[in-house]
């Protein structure tokens, strides 16, 4: 006779819901948003069906809709005009720059929306790299100083949390000190602590035209600063350093192929953990769903729930709006 039957707790949805270990809600989502120059402009991103580059006014409209659906956090990226790009990234801290104007417009329209601008130089670089290049190499400390200026300018515009995604050594401390010295003691830092050099970023880079340029004089990829995907212990080392330097939230990127890293970090720290469900992961699900190979809605919810099960507290995902609509139904 069988005394222990695990299926007793799976008999119906009410019982399954009663014993469910993690629950997905709209408050878990951060929506990445692409912004472009102009007025009343909207451009589809072919490799990311359903995702657009929008001008500021249409971005604000989109943020209002997201907030009404329960998605209360956005992560901002700028499509920078070529004539504004150089090797210093100085446009990144222009008080009248596209990022700064976007932050202010969103906060003016929806004060309770959490705005997390990306802090990295690649959209502003003529080389498509996250750092300043000298003698064919990405230099660390000069890049950190530029990132600190960028972060402070975001705080001045009204950002709630700055999100350095560059993977320079020591940049969290430099940014934290710059924010403190400028009086922005309440502005948080969400650090991309374990960001891997991944093939899953392709659609994102096409959306911003931020891929490294094919130039023999500079690194052809980002492997000298982003992490080697063969490694996991290294991720913990990166995370611990960023925690010591003053990070408030830790990011692991990409997401689904790196759930083991999410789980290891969750066991090691008490800070909130973010995970990035990146553009390549989004594109794969969308392509399969469009071909009828996967159920779109069910696959989205299952994938996002995996992040919560692994230990993430928040999920940066291009599915945020769609997932919120599914959950609200």
Q: Which is the catalytic residue, given 85, 107, 222, 253?
A: 253
Indicate the helix (H) or strand (E) that contains 157: helix 140-157
Beta strands in 243-326 (DSSP E): 249-253, 273-277, 314-317
Strand partners, 144: none
Nearest residue to 249 (alpha-carbon basis) of 180, 313, 308, 179: 313
Tell me whether residue 37 is annotated as binding: no
What per-residue string of b and e applies to 130-144 under the rule 16 or more CB within 10 Å gives b? bbbbeeeebebeebb
Q: Strands, E, within the chain: which ranges?
A: 29-35, 42-44, 52-54, 73-78, 114-119, 132-134, 137-139, 161-164, 188-195, 249-253, 273-277, 314-317
Nearest to 150 by CA among 125, 186, 169: 125
- Give the ranges where 158-291 is alpha helix by DSSP (H): 171-181, 202-208, 233-245, 259-268, 279-290
Q: Which two tokens stand for residue 103?
A: 């932050």
Neighbouring CB atoms inside 10 A of 309's CB total 14
* Catalytic residue check, 104: no
In the residue annotation, 253 being an active-site residue is answered as yes
What's the longest Cα–Cα distance across the chain? 77
Q: Which of 85, 107, 195, 264 does the annotation list as catalytic?
A: 195
CB proximity list for 12: less than 8 A, separation 6 or greater: none
Q: Which residues are part of a known binding site for Mg(2+)? A: 238
The residues annotated as belonging to the active site are: 195, 253
């Amino acid at each position: 006779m069988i005394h222990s039957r695990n299926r007793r707790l799976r008999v119906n949805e009410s019982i399954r819901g009663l014993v469910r270990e993690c629950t997905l809600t709209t408050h878990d989502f951060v929506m990445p948003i692409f912004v472009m120059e102009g007025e009343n402009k909207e451009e589809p991103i072919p490799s990311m069906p359903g995702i657009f580059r929008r001008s500021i006014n249409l971005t604000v409209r989109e943020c209002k809709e997201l907030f009404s659906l329960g998605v209360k956090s956005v992560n901002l990226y700028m499509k920078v005009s070529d004539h504004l790009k150089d090797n210093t990234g100085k446009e990144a801290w222009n008080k009248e720059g596209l990022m700064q104007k976007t932050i202010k417009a969103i906060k003016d329209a929806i004060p309770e929306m959490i705005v997390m601008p990306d802090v990295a130089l690649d959209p502003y670089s003529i080389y498509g790299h996250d750092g300043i290049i000298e003698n064919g190499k990405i230099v660390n400390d000069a890049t950190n100083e530029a990132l600190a200026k960028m972060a402070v300018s975001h705080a001045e515009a009204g950002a709630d949390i700055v999100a350095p995604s560059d993977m320079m050594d020591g940049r969290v401390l430099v940014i934290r000190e710059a924010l403190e010295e400028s009086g922005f003691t309440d502005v948080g830092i969400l650090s991309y602590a374990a960001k891997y050099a991944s093939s899953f970023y392709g659609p994102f880079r096409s959306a911003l035209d931020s891929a490294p340029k094919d130039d023999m004089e500079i690194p052809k990829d980002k492997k000298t600063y982003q992490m080697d995907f063969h490694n996991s212990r290294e991720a913990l080392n990166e995370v611990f350093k960023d925690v010591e330097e003053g990070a408030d939230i830790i990011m692991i990127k990409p997401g689904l192929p790196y759930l083991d890293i999410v789980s290891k970090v969750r066991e090691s720290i008490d800070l909130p953990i973010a995970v990035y469900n990146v553009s390549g992961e989004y594109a794969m699900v969308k392509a399969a769903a469009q071909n009828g190979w996967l159920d779109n809605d069910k696959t989205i919810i299952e994938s996002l729930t995996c992040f919560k099960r692994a230990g993430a507290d928040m999920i940066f995902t291009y599915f945020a709006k769609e997932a919120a609509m599914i959950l609200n139904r």
